[in-house]
Amino acid sequence: MPQRRAPRVSYRNGEVSLALAQSGTLAVFGFGAGAQAMEDPRCLQVGLECFDETPPLELWQVDAPVSHGRDVGVRWARGGGWLFAAIELDERDHGGPRDTARQAYEQLRRVVGEQAERHVLRIWNYLGAINQGEGDAERYKLFCDGRAAGMGDFFAADGFPAATAIGHHGARPTLQVYLLACDQPGARVENPRQVSASRYPRQYGRTPPSFARAMTLPAGDVLAISGTAAVVGHASAHADDLHAQLVETFSNLDALLATAGMAEGFDTHSPLKAYVRHPADAAQVREFIARRLPGVPVLLLHGDICRRELLVEIDGWRYA
């Protein structure tokens, strides 16, 4: 079987209905409370506000016809060997962040595990008040407990996928999880500057975060980059210093590209997201990235990083 060409990911302005009508549309994402909601399972309203005056849509497209549907709360779309799947759960119906995460991952595991496209390559997690609570009772740590319980041994064969976990500021305590899977496995990429997240010491919770720093997609032509911040070894660096954290974050991005065997830097076909904790910092983050990566499409979103001392996190795609 020839290796699968990766979906094309881009940011577009325009109507959701027009994006969904385009050939090969696997998923369309709108951002913030003002994003247009649609019944189509391929359309997801992400609970993160965008700092752009007119937030663009994020569009995933494949070179094949796409079918779509719903399966007991899980929305899905498939085409050309690729699968988009997503679930949204209200914590008030499921007992808090731990039990909600367990339920979400159990349902995703069941649905994805029954598909030919069962190799999960990339996951996004958005939950409210991610830093609330102390010690093992912090909401992010409870989420990690529930995620691990829900996924069980599903990733035992392929290893953990690339992932992002960000806190949203929505009015409802909603957990959103969505993923990209394929009928062929990818290749995990770790960062030599960082301890593997699955091997974090006990101080980061009962259950270490379970993700790869990046994932090379099956054809080897695209790197899916996990949420990347100013972490060196396993420790946060430059607490509360935005500029220093941005510099460190880009050092980690450079290390990931080098480890994956890709040329340094990003181009106009490699979209990124920057999650910014404090709205007042958005302009500085935008200016820094524009100087460092001129012309690269970057979506700037208001989101809390999983460690409260970290101010910014970046993820995205690097096309060869």
Q: Which residues are catalytic?
A: 313
289-316 b/e (C-beta count within 10 Å ≥ 16 → b): beeebeebbbbbbbbbbbbbbbbbbbbb
Structure tokens at 135: 């010690």
H or E segment and range at residue 150: helix 139-151
How many whole angstroms separate alpha carbon 247 and alpha carbon 253? 10
Specify the 3-state DSSP secondary structure of 115: coil
Nearest to 20 by CA among 60, 70, 73, 79: 60
The total number of residues written for the chain in this structure:
320
H-helix segments, the chain: 16-21, 97-113, 139-151, 242-259, 282-292
The DSSP bridge partners found for residue 84 are: 77, 180
- Residue 40 carries which side chain, given as an amino acid letter? D
Backbone phi and psi for residue 145, each to the nearest 5 degrees, phi listed first: -60, -50
Structure tokens at 246: 């941005």
Beta strands in 57-173 (DSSP E): 57-61, 67-71, 74-79, 82-90, 119-128, 162-168
Specify the 3-state DSSP secondary structure of 147: helix
Backbone phi and psi for residue 101, each to the nearest 5 degrees, phi listed first: -65, -40
Residue 3, burial from CB neighbour count under 10 angstroms (0-12, 13-18, 19+): middle
Structure tokens at 40: 């189509």
